[in-house]
Amino acid sequence: MRKHLTFFLCACVIAFTFTSCKKSSSSDSSGSNYMKANFDGSAKSFNTKVAAIKGNLGNGTYTLIISGFSSSEQLALSMWSDKDDFTAGKTFTLEALGGTTDNILTYAAPLGSSDPMSQWASVYDYGNVSESFQCTITEATSVYIKGTFSSVIYQNNNAAVASKTVTEGSFYAKY
């Protein structure tokens, strides 16, 4: 249940972020915003729209979401903290908030599909698998955040375990 709640909250915040933001060009003028990673060894870029949002949800709960889009795919990092410590040098792993939720990497392709088979996440609800997630923030200012990530993501299905290994992930996103 907690994993579904995390995925749902992540999706809601991402949807809110991109529907409430001011329209701009497909990337910033310097071309510096990016989100990219290797999926099972194949490079993918999510640079059409890249953004970060950090929020204080109250009761000592903070969240950071970094999301990138290509023309047909979306990739998002969702991290939680009880200290608002989204700072350079901090590494986040799968377990968050004392085990009450998870930091996750989510992937959707094609965009707009309601088919559960198009949704992938670093948590898997249908059996025992080796879940992994790591995100290291390398730079953080009041204007932007930069870092690296890796994970194994699983397709949202209970028929058979399907996974992708995400490596060499990196991002630079403005708030």
Give pLDDT, residue 157: 87
CA dist 2 and 8 (Å) reads: 10
What residues does 172 pair with on adjacent strands?
34, 146
- Given this model, what pLDDT does residue 32 score? 86
Cα–Cα dist 73/140, whole Å: 26
| pLDDT averaged per 10 residues in sequence order, the chain, 175 residues | 44 43 39 92 97 95 97 97 96 95 97 91 92 97 97 91 97 97
Q: In the chain, how many domains are there?
A: 1
Burial class from Cβ neighbours inside 10 Å (0-12, 13-18, 19+) for residue 135 reads buried
Of 166, 79, 80, 81, nearest to 120 by C-alpha is 166
Q: Is the peptide bond before 116 cis (omega within 30 degrees of 0)?
A: no
Q: Identify whether the C-beta of residue 99 lies closer than 8 Å to the C-beta of residue 80.
A: no
Q: Give residue 95's domain range.
A: 2-174
Residue 43, judged by CB atoms within 10 A of its CB (0-12, 13-18, 19+), counts as exposed
| pLDDT for the residue 2 | 47
